[in-house]
Amino acid sequence: MAEETAILGGGCFWCLEAIFGDLKGVRKVNPGYAGGLIPNPTYQQVSRGDTGHAEVVQVVFNPETISFRELLEIFFSVHDPTTLNRQGNDVGSQYRSVIFYQNEVQKDQAEEVTEEAALLWPDPLVTELEPLKDFYPAEPYHRNYFHLNKEQNYCRFVIAPKLAAFRGKFASKLRS
């Protein structure tokens, strides 16, 4: 089975990891950092907002089951791509809406889906489209964060409602 990867940033990587991890055809989701100025940043460095990195997820998927285009369509429906450097109470450039493409095919598809998504939102999109230079995996304690910390307040009041809305909207695309 040939696999592909998508690197997407749309706020806190804990939310995106929980959402994309539920999809058929997604083999794994790795939280991490991309788009910054220093190699191998830490969560503490990125959280300060001065490294240029975004919190992202690396989505490893089977394109025969779910396409890059479908992942992008879901991406635009699970975060607000009209708020600059912000998702809810998460504020800073590390929470920006961004697609890091890895080749010209991904770039072209990202441009197309972004144009289509722009028609669905009342305000202009601020989603950045950048070539991927480096992806740095987040520290191990960030992996599978929501599922391991469901009682934590951020998980209960931010991630859980977002995940429930996603599951209702995309039930046909979820793992059994």
Token pair 């934590």: residue: 152
Length of the chain as a residue count: 176
Q: Which of 7, 12, 23, 59 is catalytic?
A: 12
What DSSP line would sit under 129-169, residue for residue?
EEE---EEEPPGGGTTHHHH-TTSHHIIIIIHHHHHHHHHH
Closest CA to 31 of 2, 71, 60, 63: 60
Active site residue 15: no
**Helix, strand, coil % over all residues of the chain, rounded to 5:** 40, 25, 35
Distance CA 123, CA 139 (A): 35
- Active-site residue set: 12
